[in-house]
Protein backbone atom coordinates (compact mmCIF):
# COMPACT_ATOMS: atom_id res chain seq x y z
CA UNK A 1 0.00 0.00 0.00
CA UNK A 2 1.52 3.37 -0.99
CA UNK A 3 2.04 5.84 1.85
CA UNK A 4 1.15 9.51 2.22
CA UNK A 5 1.84 12.52 4.42
CA UNK A 6 -1.02 15.02 4.71
CA UNK A 7 -0.46 18.70 5.57
CA UNK A 8 -3.15 21.29 6.35
CA UNK A 9 -5.35 18.23 6.77
CA UNK A 10 -8.34 19.79 8.51
CA UNK A 11 -10.96 17.28 9.59
CA UNK A 12 -9.90 14.69 7.03
CA UNK A 13 -11.77 15.10 3.74
CA UNK A 14 -8.64 14.76 1.63
CA UNK A 15 -7.36 11.87 3.73
CA UNK A 16 -10.68 10.03 3.61
CA UNK A 17 -10.48 10.23 -0.18
CA UNK A 18 -6.86 9.05 -0.11
CA UNK A 19 -7.72 5.98 1.93
CA UNK A 20 -10.54 5.13 -0.46
CA UNK A 21 -7.97 5.32 -3.28
CA UNK A 22 -5.73 2.81 -1.48
CA UNK A 23 -3.23 4.96 0.42
CA UNK A 24 -1.98 4.62 3.99
CA UNK A 25 -1.87 8.09 5.59
CA UNK A 26 1.10 8.11 7.97
CA UNK A 27 0.78 11.65 9.31
CA UNK A 28 -1.78 14.45 9.29
CA UNK A 29 -1.33 18.05 10.44
CA UNK A 30 -3.34 21.15 11.24
CA UNK A 31 -3.56 23.95 13.82
CA UNK A 32 -7.30 23.67 14.57
CA UNK A 33 -7.98 21.55 17.65
CA UNK A 34 -11.52 20.67 16.62
CA UNK A 35 -10.33 19.55 13.18
CA UNK A 36 -7.99 17.14 14.99
CA UNK A 37 -10.80 15.99 17.30
CA UNK A 38 -13.17 15.24 14.43
CA UNK A 39 -10.43 13.55 12.41
CA UNK A 40 -9.30 11.22 15.20
CA UNK A 41 -12.91 10.39 16.14
CA UNK A 42 -13.71 9.26 12.60
CA UNK A 43 -10.39 8.38 10.93
CA UNK A 44 -8.19 6.81 13.60
CA UNK A 45 -4.86 5.15 12.94
CA UNK A 46 -3.00 8.21 11.64
CA UNK A 47 -0.60 10.30 13.71
CA UNK A 48 -2.19 13.76 13.89
CA UNK A 49 0.28 16.55 14.66
CA UNK A 50 -1.58 19.56 16.09
CA UNK A 51 1.01 22.22 15.39
CA UNK A 52 1.85 25.16 13.13
CA UNK A 53 3.62 23.62 10.15
CA UNK A 54 6.41 26.17 10.53
CA UNK A 55 7.32 24.42 13.79
CA UNK A 56 7.55 20.96 12.20
CA UNK A 57 11.13 20.18 11.23
CA UNK A 58 10.90 16.49 10.35
CA UNK A 59 8.40 14.49 8.30
CA UNK A 60 8.00 10.75 7.69
CA UNK A 61 9.23 9.35 4.40
CA UNK A 62 6.26 8.77 2.08
CA UNK A 63 5.33 8.08 -1.54
CA UNK A 64 2.85 10.95 -1.73
CA UNK A 65 2.58 14.40 -0.14
CA UNK A 66 -0.75 16.23 -0.11
CA UNK A 67 -1.75 19.65 1.17
CA UNK A 68 -4.73 21.98 1.25
CA UNK A 69 -3.09 25.11 2.58
CA UNK A 70 -5.21 28.08 3.68
CA UNK A 71 -6.82 30.14 0.96
CA UNK A 72 -8.78 32.96 2.60
CA UNK A 73 -7.03 35.66 0.60
CA UNK A 74 -7.83 33.95 -2.70
CA UNK A 75 -11.42 32.92 -1.99
CA UNK A 76 -14.36 34.45 -3.81
CA UNK A 77 -16.16 34.47 -0.45
CA UNK A 78 -13.17 35.65 1.58
CA UNK A 79 -11.43 38.95 2.14
CA UNK A 80 -9.63 38.77 -1.23
CA UNK A 81 -6.27 40.04 0.04
CA UNK A 82 -3.54 38.23 -1.92
CA UNK A 83 -0.78 39.82 0.18
CA UNK A 84 -1.92 38.30 3.50
CA UNK A 85 0.79 36.24 5.23
CA UNK A 86 -1.50 33.21 5.40
CA UNK A 87 -1.43 33.01 1.60
CA UNK A 88 2.28 32.22 1.60
CA UNK A 89 2.04 28.99 3.56
CA UNK A 90 2.53 27.18 0.26
CA UNK A 91 6.23 27.83 0.86
CA UNK A 92 6.01 25.53 3.88
CA UNK A 93 4.46 22.86 1.70
CA UNK A 94 7.36 23.24 -0.72
CA UNK A 95 9.80 22.94 2.19
CA UNK A 96 8.21 19.63 3.15
CA UNK A 97 8.21 18.56 -0.50
CA UNK A 98 11.97 19.10 -0.73
CA UNK A 99 12.60 17.28 2.54
CA UNK A 100 10.42 14.24 1.82
CA UNK A 101 11.05 14.01 -1.94
CA UNK A 102 7.91 11.91 -2.53
CA UNK A 103 7.16 10.35 -5.87
CA UNK A 104 4.14 12.62 -6.28
CA UNK A 105 2.20 15.43 -4.63
CA UNK A 106 -1.36 16.80 -4.74
CA UNK A 107 -2.47 20.28 -3.69
CA UNK A 108 -6.04 21.58 -3.48
CA UNK A 109 -7.00 25.25 -3.30
CA UNK A 110 -9.74 27.68 -4.32
CA UNK A 111 -10.31 28.47 -7.97
CA UNK A 112 -9.91 32.19 -7.21
CA UNK A 113 -6.16 31.67 -7.19
CA UNK A 114 -6.17 31.94 -10.99
CA UNK A 115 -7.80 35.38 -10.96
CA UNK A 116 -5.65 38.11 -12.46
CA UNK A 117 -4.84 39.74 -9.11
CA UNK A 118 -3.64 36.38 -7.68
CA UNK A 119 -2.02 34.91 -10.76
CA UNK A 120 1.53 35.87 -9.75
CA UNK A 121 1.12 33.65 -6.69
CA UNK A 122 -0.24 30.83 -8.84
CA UNK A 123 2.80 31.10 -11.10
CA UNK A 124 5.21 31.28 -8.17
CA UNK A 125 3.87 28.00 -6.83
CA UNK A 126 4.31 26.30 -10.20
CA UNK A 127 7.89 27.55 -10.42
CA UNK A 128 8.69 26.30 -6.91
CA UNK A 129 7.16 22.90 -7.62
CA UNK A 130 9.12 22.55 -10.87
CA UNK A 131 12.43 23.67 -9.37
CA UNK A 132 11.86 21.09 -6.62
CA UNK A 133 12.03 18.42 -9.32
CA UNK A 134 8.41 17.78 -10.37
CA UNK A 135 6.39 17.77 -13.57
CA UNK A 136 3.31 19.80 -12.67
CA UNK A 137 -0.22 19.89 -14.02
CA UNK A 138 -3.14 22.01 -12.80
CA UNK A 139 -6.89 22.01 -13.38
CA UNK A 140 -10.09 23.33 -11.87
CA UNK A 141 -12.47 20.50 -10.99
CA UNK A 142 -16.17 20.72 -10.19
CA UNK A 143 -17.17 18.45 -7.30
CA UNK A 144 -20.50 17.73 -8.99
CA UNK A 145 -18.63 15.88 -11.76
CA UNK A 146 -17.53 13.36 -9.13
CA UNK A 147 -20.85 12.64 -7.48
CA UNK A 148 -20.92 15.43 -4.85
CA UNK A 149 -24.31 17.13 -4.48
CA UNK A 150 -22.78 20.58 -4.21
CA UNK A 151 -21.55 23.38 -6.47
CA UNK A 152 -17.84 23.49 -5.60
CA UNK A 153 -15.07 24.35 -8.05
CA UNK A 154 -11.51 23.95 -6.78
CA UNK A 155 -8.01 24.21 -8.22
CA UNK A 156 -5.72 21.18 -8.07
CA UNK A 157 -1.98 20.98 -8.62
CA UNK A 158 -0.55 17.51 -9.20
CA UNK A 159 3.15 16.83 -9.56
CA UNK A 160 5.08 13.68 -10.49
CA UNK A 161 8.79 13.53 -9.67
CA UNK A 162 10.65 14.25 -12.90
CA UNK A 163 13.01 11.28 -12.70
CA UNK A 164 10.05 8.88 -12.90
CA UNK A 165 9.29 9.91 -16.49
CA UNK A 166 5.49 10.07 -15.97
CA UNK A 167 2.96 12.82 -16.63
CA UNK A 168 -0.29 13.16 -14.72
CA UNK A 169 -3.68 13.17 -16.45
CA UNK A 170 -6.65 14.48 -14.49
CA UNK A 171 -9.60 12.11 -14.04
CA UNK A 172 -12.59 12.19 -16.33
CA UNK A 173 -15.95 13.04 -14.74
CA UNK A 174 -17.92 10.19 -13.25
CA UNK A 175 -21.22 12.14 -13.25
CA UNK A 176 -22.88 14.63 -15.57
CA UNK A 177 -24.21 18.01 -14.51
CA UNK A 178 -27.76 19.27 -14.97
CA UNK A 179 -28.15 20.54 -18.52
CA UNK A 180 -25.21 18.60 -19.91
CA UNK A 181 -25.80 16.40 -22.92
CA UNK A 182 -27.18 12.94 -22.06
CA UNK A 183 -24.47 10.32 -21.82
CA UNK A 184 -23.74 7.01 -20.16
CA UNK A 185 -22.73 8.88 -17.01
CA UNK A 186 -25.23 9.06 -14.14
CA UNK A 187 -26.75 12.40 -13.18
CA UNK A 188 -25.06 14.18 -10.29
CA UNK A 189 -26.89 13.49 -7.00
CA UNK A 190 -29.30 16.11 -5.69
CA UNK A 191 -29.74 17.62 -2.26
CA UNK A 192 -32.61 15.19 -1.72
CA UNK A 193 -30.36 12.27 -2.57
CA UNK A 194 -27.76 13.47 -0.07
CA UNK A 195 -29.84 14.59 2.92
CA UNK A 196 -33.49 13.78 2.19
CA UNK A 197 -33.59 11.08 4.87
CA UNK A 198 -32.38 13.33 7.72
CA UNK A 199 -34.67 14.95 10.33
CA UNK A 200 -36.59 18.01 9.15
CA UNK A 201 -35.47 20.19 12.06
CA UNK A 202 -32.49 18.64 13.92
CA UNK A 203 -32.32 20.26 17.33
CA UNK A 204 -28.96 21.70 18.27
CA UNK A 205 -27.37 21.17 14.84
CA UNK A 206 -28.41 24.41 13.11
CA UNK A 207 -27.13 27.97 13.36
CA UNK A 208 -30.31 29.79 14.37
CA UNK A 209 -28.99 33.36 14.26
CA UNK A 210 -31.21 35.85 12.40
CA UNK A 211 -30.78 36.18 8.63
CA UNK A 212 -28.86 39.45 8.52
CA UNK A 213 -28.63 41.82 5.57
CA UNK A 214 -25.42 40.30 4.22
CA UNK A 215 -26.92 36.82 4.21
CA UNK A 216 -29.83 38.20 2.19
CA UNK A 217 -27.57 40.06 -0.25
CA UNK A 218 -27.50 36.97 -2.49
CA UNK A 219 -29.61 33.94 -3.30
CA UNK A 220 -28.74 31.21 -0.78
CA UNK A 221 -31.56 28.89 -1.82
CA UNK A 222 -31.46 25.63 -3.78
CA UNK A 223 -34.35 23.19 -4.11
CA UNK A 224 -34.48 19.48 -3.31
CA UNK A 225 -33.87 18.48 -6.93
CA UNK A 226 -30.84 20.74 -7.34
CA UNK A 227 -27.28 20.66 -6.03
CA UNK A 228 -26.37 22.71 -2.97
CA UNK A 229 -24.69 26.06 -3.02
CA UNK A 230 -21.06 25.86 -1.89
CA UNK A 231 -20.65 24.74 1.71
CA UNK A 232 -18.71 27.47 3.51
CA UNK A 233 -16.85 27.62 6.81
CA UNK A 234 -19.06 30.27 8.41
CA UNK A 235 -22.15 28.87 10.12
CA UNK A 236 -24.01 32.16 9.61
CA UNK A 237 -23.54 31.89 5.85
CA UNK A 238 -24.54 28.24 5.45
CA UNK A 239 -26.95 27.68 2.52
CA UNK A 240 -30.68 27.56 3.14
CA UNK A 241 -32.32 24.20 3.66
CA UNK A 242 -34.66 23.31 0.75
CA UNK A 243 -37.68 23.23 3.09
CA UNK A 244 -37.28 27.01 3.52
CA UNK A 245 -39.25 29.50 1.42
CA UNK A 246 -37.52 30.51 -1.80
CA UNK A 247 -35.76 33.86 -2.02
CA UNK A 248 -37.01 36.62 -4.34
CA UNK A 249 -34.71 39.25 -5.81
CA UNK A 250 -35.57 42.84 -4.88
CA UNK A 251 -32.45 44.34 -6.48
CA UNK A 252 -28.82 43.42 -7.03
CA UNK A 253 -27.85 43.03 -3.38
CA UNK A 254 -31.19 42.36 -1.70
CA UNK A 255 -33.29 39.22 -1.55
CA UNK A 256 -36.37 38.48 0.54
CA UNK A 257 -38.26 35.32 1.48
CA UNK A 258 -41.32 34.71 -0.66
CA UNK A 259 -43.39 33.84 2.41
CA UNK A 260 -43.31 33.85 6.22
CA UNK A 261 -43.01 30.05 6.41
CA UNK A 262 -40.20 28.74 8.65
CA UNK A 263 -36.73 29.07 7.17
CA UNK A 264 -33.46 27.57 8.31
CA UNK A 265 -29.87 27.01 7.31
CA UNK A 266 -28.62 23.52 6.61
CA UNK A 267 -27.20 21.79 9.68
CA UNK A 268 -23.53 20.94 10.12
CA UNK A 269 -24.44 17.25 9.76
CA UNK A 270 -26.22 17.97 6.48
CA UNK A 271 -23.20 20.03 5.38
CA UNK A 272 -20.98 17.00 5.94
CA UNK A 273 -23.26 14.84 3.77
CA UNK A 274 -23.29 17.54 1.06
CA UNK A 275 -19.48 17.57 1.15
CA UNK A 276 -19.47 13.87 0.32
CA UNK A 277 -18.67 12.50 3.76
CA UNK A 278 -20.57 9.63 5.27
CA UNK A 279 -22.30 10.09 8.62
CA UNK A 280 -19.63 11.57 10.84
CA UNK A 281 -19.43 11.45 14.61
CA UNK A 282 -19.06 14.98 16.00
CA UNK A 283 -17.15 15.18 19.31
CA UNK A 284 -18.58 17.46 21.98
CA UNK A 285 -15.25 19.20 22.58
CA UNK A 286 -16.33 22.41 20.81
CA UNK A 287 -19.55 24.07 19.76
CA UNK A 288 -21.62 24.49 16.65
CA UNK A 289 -19.49 27.17 14.94
CA UNK A 290 -16.40 24.95 15.02
CA UNK A 291 -18.36 22.05 13.54
CA UNK A 292 -19.54 24.11 10.60
CA UNK A 293 -16.06 25.60 10.19
CA UNK A 294 -14.10 22.39 9.81
CA UNK A 295 -16.70 20.84 7.51
CA UNK A 296 -16.83 23.95 5.31
CA UNK A 297 -13.04 23.98 5.02
CA UNK A 298 -12.85 20.31 4.06
CA UNK A 299 -12.16 18.77 0.66
CA UNK A 300 -14.99 16.56 -0.64
CA UNK A 301 -13.60 13.03 -0.24
CA UNK A 302 -14.97 11.73 -3.59
CA UNK A 303 -13.07 14.43 -5.49
CA UNK A 304 -9.79 13.71 -3.74
CA UNK A 305 -10.31 9.99 -4.25
CA UNK A 306 -10.69 10.54 -8.00
CA UNK A 307 -7.59 12.75 -8.21
CA UNK A 308 -5.45 10.31 -6.20
CA UNK A 309 -6.73 7.24 -8.05
CA UNK A 310 -5.65 8.83 -11.36
CA UNK A 311 -2.00 9.00 -10.27
CA UNK A 312 0.24 6.75 -12.38
CA UNK A 313 1.43 3.52 -10.79
CA UNK A 314 4.88 4.68 -9.66
CA UNK A 315 4.75 3.12 -6.21
In the sheet where 134-142 sits, what is the strand order?
47-50, 24-30, 3-7, 64-67, 104-110, 153-161, 134-142
Choose, from 11, 68, 71, 188, the residue flagged as catalytic.
71
Angle at which helix 13-20 crosses helix 301-309, to 10 degrees, equals: 40
* Catalytic residue status for 68: no
158: helix, coil or strand?
Answer: strand
Beta-bridge partners for 134: 161
The secondary element (H helix, E strand) that includes residue 264 is: none
Q: Compute the distance between CA of residue 177 and CA of residue 148 in angstroms, rounded to an integer.
A: 11
Strand blocks (E) in 22-98: 24-30, 47-50, 64-67
Task: Please identify every residue annotated as catalytic.
Answer: 71
Amino acid sequence: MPTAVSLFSGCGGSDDGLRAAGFDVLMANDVLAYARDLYTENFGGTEYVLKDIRQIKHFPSADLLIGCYPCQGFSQAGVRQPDRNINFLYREFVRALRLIKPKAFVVENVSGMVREDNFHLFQNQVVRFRTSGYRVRSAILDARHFGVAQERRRLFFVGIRSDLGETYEFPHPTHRLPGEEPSSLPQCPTIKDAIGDLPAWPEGEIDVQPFHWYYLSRNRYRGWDEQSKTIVASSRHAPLHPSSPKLLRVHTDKWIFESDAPARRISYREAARLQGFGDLRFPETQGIASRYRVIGNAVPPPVFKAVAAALPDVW
